[in-house]
Structure 1
């Protein structure tokens, strides 16, 4: 959800709450004002009727509401002296509506020429259910109007105010630490945006410096390690050619050479893993994995035949994906090599290519630990594994938003790459 819509949703919820409270208060106040107004009108009508009855005694005998809005009935002095004006709501049959409608009634008592009378005066009133209905729909329209106003303000006024922020987001989205060293910030008069631009500028410069330093250190360290390792291996190979060495010394020399070669492979693997995590493989192209797997299968043909392993490549669809071709080769080659190295001799490895998936299966005795499977330095049973093959494949998959899954069923290890 965008920031402007996020704030609008909060405004909408707050408005519902505030308008609901306001509606209740407004309804009570309006109803109270209506009753006050009607009661004042009834009191005035009562005075006019009493004054008119003093001039026209025939009105004192009017005891029905048929021809007016009042009735007068005789009463005792005892009742009249204790009687106080009373206002109340009641219902009266209205012929035009053919139904009972609410009216406001004033009941009072007065004295005329020594006789006491009770008077009832009525007036029509607003039905509360109609008032509530009208108020409800008025509030709905008010709420809709306010929300539309807020949306218009967000889209025109607030969007203009937040323009530097969105410009900064677009610049950060396009920023590539491998190619760019800085981004251009738009001018703004808002102090908070100026401060944000300054902080991000400092952060990016520091990140670029750290990235460059780390990249140079890794490259230099790898280069410096490779040189003495290569020299040591060459010297030991020359020494091994000396026939004057005893068998035990030759065996020790062979162990040293194996460890140095393993150290060389480990150094290259760590350098590769670091380059992947630092996104130093920027060139991307559309990779055809069908052709790539066939090439890799040919390269591993000697390894497979040495252990009498048959590799079946099954193509159910053509799979293409945009990524670095070098990393695509490493991703698939590591998984296939892992299957060839850890499957029993004289068995089969199945590679199946789908439209959005690659499946690699090989025989096994027991499942691997999925929690540590893709962690670094988790070597298999064979001594030539440096424990980084699957970690490198996982790093490549994460780099391109791919998913590597592992499953073990029916004595089959299954690795799937989901594109």
Structure 2
């Protein structure tokens, strides 16, 4: 979720909480004001009733509530002295024009007592509180509309005001995503007067400069190390070949020289594999283009056909899709070649290799030992099952490194006496 959307989410929740608390406080304040105003009216109504009773004694006989909303009851002196003015909320049954029968309605009531001509009377005066329900409905509606208006205002501010404020940040982030090590380009830069964005830009560019310098140093070291290793290995191989060609060697001497030449050849392959692995991990392969992987598989099968024939291994290919994918062509060949070579060299006489290409995966299965390989170690460097001297132990590690580079999913399984390696390609 983007930062702007997150701010909307948190602001919406915060404003909802604030408005809810405000609405509750406002409601009780308004209710107290209304009840205070009604109580003042009841007090005034009480004085008018007592004044009218002094002039018309028939009022003293009204002992039930009607449209005049008051009732009187004669009491003794002790009861009258014990009664103090009391205001409270209660319910009276009233019938409006649209009601079939009386219905309970909320009222505010005053109970008091007074003395007139030596007689004591209890007076109950009521005033309708129907306005309270209307107040709650109006307050709820106003609160909802206030909340909606504030959210619309926040969204507007986020998209038209804050978005402009954050524009330098998103421009800088877009440039940073496109930045690649090993390619001559200017560091990301945007025009802004915001101090935080300027500090971020300076810190990131300083880090990029240091990373670029380290990357170039490492790249130069790898190239130099590879060259310095390849040269003496090639010289040693040439001298040994000349020594063998000159003859005059005993059988045991010739065997020793052949063994040394094998070791040198192995060191050469190991050096090349380590160099390739380091380049992959440093992302030095950037020539990405659309590659039809079924053609890459066909070419590698054709190249390895003589080796497979020499090993008495049959290769069967099943294609159901072209499997196009955007990647470096040389790395595509490395992945397929390493898996096919692994399937051929670690096979058995008269064995088989089955290659299947689907719309989103390549599956290479081969006969071999009846023992399942260790899934946790098979893609690690220099892992050799049963300490076999074959290979450098880096072939599958290179496959794993390329898979990680392009977000492939490479896996191993042992099904029906077949060692199966599968590469699943992410769908676009």
Q: Which moved more, 1:56-65 or 1:273-282?
A: 56-65
Q: Residue by residue, what CA displacement relative to the aligned partner does 1:61-112 show, whole Å, maximum 9, x if unpaired?
A: 2223224121222211111111111222222222115321111111100111
Q: Residue by residue, what CA displacement relative to the aligned partner does 1:134-171 show, whole Å, maximum 9, x if unpaired?
A: 43343332222222221111111111111111110011
Matches within 5 A, 1:317-328: 317-328=321-332
SS, match of residue 210 in structure 1: helix
**Residue 149 of structure 1: aligned partner:** 153
**Residue 366 of structure 2: aligned partner:** 362
Within the candidate set 372, 393, 396, 1:390 is matched to 396
Matches within 5 A, 1:34-49: 34-49=34-49
SS, match of residue 158 in structure 2: helix
**Residue 177 of structure 2: aligned partner:** 173
CA distance in 2, matches of 1:316, 1:41: 91
SS, match of residue 241 in structure 1: helix
CA distance in 1, matches of 2:16, 2:371: 61
Q: TM-score, normalised by structure 2?
A: 0.93
CA distance in 1, matches of 2:248, 2:220: 44
Offset at residue 304 of structure 1 (A): 0.8
Q: Residue by residue, what CA displacement relative to the aligned partner does 1:168-188 show, whole Å, maximum 9, x if unpaired?
A: 001111112222342241221
Per the alignment, do residues 296 and 170 of structure 1 end up closer, same or farther by CA in structure 2, a change over 3 Å counting?
Answer: same
SS, match of residue 374 in structure 2: coil
SS, match of residue 349 in structure 1: strand
Per the alignment, do residues 138 and 23 of structure 1 end up closer, same or farther by CA in structure 2, a change over 3 Å counting?
Answer: same
**Does the 8 Å CA contact 1:290/1:318 hold for their aligned counterparts?**
yes
**Does the 8 Å CA contact 2:105/2:130 hold for their aligned counterparts?**
no
Q: Which moved more, 1:353-362 or 1:140-149?
A: 140-149
SS, match of residue 107 in structure 1: strand
**Does the 8 Å CA contact 1:182/1:201 hold for their aligned counterparts?**
no
**Does the 8 Å CA contact 2:188/2:205 hold for their aligned counterparts?**
no
**Residue 420 of structure 2: aligned partner:** 414
CA distance in 1, matches of 2:165, 2:310: 70
CA RMSD across the alignment: 1.8
**Residue 51 of structure 1: aligned partner:** 51
Per the alignment, do residues 246 and 128 of structure 1 end up closer, same or farther by CA in structure 2, a change over 3 Å counting?
Answer: farther
**Does the 8 Å CA contact 1:103/1:123 hold for their aligned counterparts?**
yes
CA distance in 1, matches of 2:14, 2:252: 86
**Does the 8 Å CA contact 1:181/1:208 hold for their aligned counterparts?**
no
CA distance in 2, matches of 1:140, 1:332: 63
Q: Residue by residue, what CA displacement relative to the aligned partner does 1:26-72 show, whole Å, maximum 9, x if unpaired?
A: 33333333322222221121112212222332322222322412122
1:83 aligns with 2:74: no
**Residue 267 of structure 2: aligned partner:** 263
Q: Residue by residue, what CA displacement relative to the aligned partner does 1:207-251 show, whole Å, maximum 9, x if unpaired?
A: 111111111111111111111110011111212234333322222
**Does the 8 Å CA contact 1:62/1:71 hold for their aligned counterparts?**
yes
1:373 aligns with 2:378: yes
CA distance in 2, matches of 1:127, 1:67: 18
Offset at residue 133 of structure 1 (A): 4.4
Per the alignment, do residues 372 and 128 of structure 1 end up closer, same or farther by CA in structure 2, a change over 3 Å counting?
Answer: farther
Per the alignment, do residues 29 and 322 of structure 1 end up closer, same or farther by CA in structure 2, a change over 3 Å counting?
Answer: same
Q: Which moved more, 1:122-131 or 1:107-116?
A: 122-131
Consecutive unaligned residues in structure 2, runs of 5 or more: none
CA distance in 1, matches of 2:136, 2:110: 25
CA distance in 2, matches of 1:105, 1:355: 83
Offset at residue 301 of structure 1 (A): 0.9
Offset at residue 388 of structure 1 (A): 0.8
Q: TM-score, normalised by structure 1?
A: 0.95
Offset at residue 256 of structure 1 (A): 1.5
SS, match of residue 102 in structure 1: strand
CA distance in 1, matches of 2:342, 2:404: 19
CA distance in 1, matches of 2:320, 2:60: 106
Q: Residue by residue, what CA displacement relative to the aligned partner does 1:268-307 show, whole Å, maximum 9, x if unpaired?
A: 1111111111221111222112221111111111211112
CA distance in 1, matches of 2:190, 2:24: 49
SS, match of residue 420 in structure 2: strand
**Does the 8 Å CA contact 1:339/1:362 hold for their aligned counterparts?**
yes
**Does the 8 Å CA contact 1:262/1:384 hold for their aligned counterparts?**
no
CA distance in 1, matches of 2:52, 2:324: 102
